[in-house]
Amino acid sequence: MKSDVKGKTKAVVRVELKYCEHCGGLWVRESGVGTVYCENCQPKVAELPPPKKTPGRLTLPVRKSVVVEEYGVESTELVEVDGDELDFEAAGGVA
pLDDT in tens, 20-77: 999 999 999 988 888 899 999 999 999 999 878 777 888 888 888 777 666 655 555 5
Q: Is 58 within the bounds of a domain? A: no
Residue 17, pLDDT score: 93
Nearest to 13 by CA among 2, 4, 21: 2
Q: Is 38 within the bounds of a domain? A: yes
Q: Average pLDDT in the 87-92 region?
A: 56
Q: Is 22 within the bounds of a domain? A: yes
- Specify the number of domains making up the chain: 1
Residue 41: which domain range?
A: 12-49
Distance CA 63, CA 83 (A): 45
C-alpha distances out from residue 74 to 58, 67, 71, 89, 93, Å:
41, 18, 9, 9, 20
Residue pair 19/26 in contact by the 8 Å Cβ criterion: yes
Distance CA 35, CA 43 (A): 13
Residue 47, pLDDT score: 93
Residue 59, pLDDT score: 84
Residue 16, pLDDT score: 92
pTM listed for this prediction: 0.43
- Residue 87 reports pLDDT greater than 60: no
